[in-house]
Chains A and B, each alone.
Chain A
Amino acid sequence: MNQPVVDALSRPAVARGFRLQWEAAQNAHVLLYPEGMIKLNTSAGEILKRCDGATTIADITVDLERAFATSNLSEDVIRFVAFAVEKKWLQIPS
């Protein structure tokens, strides 16, 4: 199966069967899926919670840079989204 291309115009969404939520008891975002759970670090959680299937990676990046008063996140975001797509946490709707 070919991996979909991940670029600035991709609109990633949390994959079917997965659910992202904030867990106060773990002080972290977690990704829930059939009989499993991934505890996310802060950056992964912040990226994933912006992946709504409508927003482009470019816009997600702008929002993150604004929220955390930083710049040059573009490559990091694309790299993480590609990783999450490979892991099947995210899908890129065609």
Chain B
Amino acid sequence: MAANPLVNAPARPGPPLWLLLELTYRCPLHCVFCYNPTDFARTGAEIGTDDWLRVLRQARALGAVQLGLSGGEPLARDDLEPIVAEAHRLGFYSNLITSGVGLNDARLRALKDAGLDHIQLSFQDSTQQMNDFLSSTRTFELKSTVAALIKQYDYPMVLNVVLHRLNIDHVEEILEMALRFGADYVELANTQYYGWAWHNREQLLPSRSQVERAEQTMKGFRERVGSRMQIYFVVPDYFERRPKACMNGLGSIFLTIAPDGTALPCHAARMLPGLEFPNVRDSSIEDIWYGSASFNHFRGDAWMKEPCRSCPEKARDFGGCRCQAYLLTGDPANADPVCDLSPHHHLVTEAVVRAERPVADDPRQGPEEKPLVFRSARNSSRLFPSRDEN
């Protein structure tokens, strides 16, 4: 009884193939581009080991197979090893996504014994100075030591470097550093503007020429080193004309569990207004994935507005990112303004134009209009005072 042939009722979705556990929001680093919510300090208490183990069993039974262990810094949880062991027993492919802080020889041995499959190590820059500035810590040397340790334990070495205005001109040096460490994969992840990165967007968004130079450098490097080091370049979507197929559509393959047990169709989705996301303390993963209103909300395309609803490309990009639509336009059902068919596209192009101002020689003392805000519990509480402090 489809009244409108252009609107597809959501079919029963496939399983949540990708499970991301954000084990904690605690983190020894204070990165200015972190995607964690800026109000993380008021998140409820972390769920316990038994809760995480139950989530693993229930999600695996539905067909989840890729497991991300992230945060915050997942090593801040002292039950990471039993969580990894259970994931291994269940047949997950486990990925530890870490700053490296807390990863010593004893812990790496225990994680290896538990069956951890892969470690992705983040760097903030190729220089100690900028790495330590961006994370507001002294961690560059430590990360270098951890990189060697990861090799020693025969893991594929995957480095992740988030790129933005303050380090994107160092792509050559970053790739040289990765080669020196013997990296198998390098992810050059242009900043996505959510959480702390959104708060700091004006100071982090690179100029178009910076992005183009970085991409050229990356391509030249790729040709030179061949296949011994694979380089991924996560496209900076502000410079595109079509949006990314974010999460392959919400509720399609990704399931995130936040530190307090809230289940989300994307790690940033808690910001979306009008949706009550379920908690793994109260509901099974099956009920959450297939039965909850919030997970069903953005499935299919009945929620779409024009120009998406009648757009032939809606099956390819699902209208882009709901969180980006909300952050930029105030309505998560709007087209992602990255799309040049969006009536709000000017919000993106204006930000890009503002980013054309000269990049300071020393960006730490640049003529930026407002200071960078570092991710910390203190800054989070300052931005979002809890009710009893009011």
Contacts and interface: CB of A to CB of B under 8 A. Distances in A.
A88 B227 CA distance: 9
A19 interface: yes
B65 A37 contact: yes
Nearest to A25: B63
B156 A16 contact: yes
Nearest to A3: B227
B119 to A, nearest CB: 9
Contacts of A16: 154, 156
A32 B65 contact: yes
Contact of B95 (A19, A30, A34, A88): A34
Which size class do A's interface residues fall under? 10 to 19
A34 B185 contact: yes
Interface in A21-52: 21, 23-26, 30, 32-37
Nearest to A19: B93
Nearest to A26: B63
Interface of B is mostly: mixed
Contacts of B156: 16-17, 33-34
A1 interface: yes
A19 B63 CA distance: 16
A35 B20 CA distance: 11
Given A17-B156, A19-B93, A19-B117, A37 B66 contact: yes
Contacts of B226: 1
Contact of B118 (A17, A24, A25, A37): A17
Interface residues of B, number: 22
A34 to B, nearest CB: 4
Nearest to B93: A32
B228 A1 contact: yes
B234 to A, nearest CB: 12
A23 B228 CA distance: 30
B184 interface: yes
Nearest to B187: A35
Contacts of B91: 21
A35 B95 CA distance: 7
A21 B62 CA distance: 16
Contact of B62 (A1, A25, A33, A36): A25
Q: Which of A23, A25, A33, A37 has the most CB of B within 10 A?
A: A25
A7 B36 CA distance: 50
Contacts of A37: 17, 65-66, 93
A24 to B, nearest CB: 8
29 contacts: A1-B228, A16-B154, A16-B156, A17-B117, A17-B155, A17-B184, A19-B93, A19-B117, A21-B91, A23-B65, A24-B63, A25-B15, A25-B63, A30-B65, A32-B65, A32-B93, A32-B117, A33-B93, A33-B118, A34-B117, A34-B118, A34-B120, A34-B158, A35-B66, A35-B118, A35-B120, A36-B66, A37-B93, A88-B227
Interface of A: 1, 16-17, 19, 21, 23-26, 30, 32-37, 88
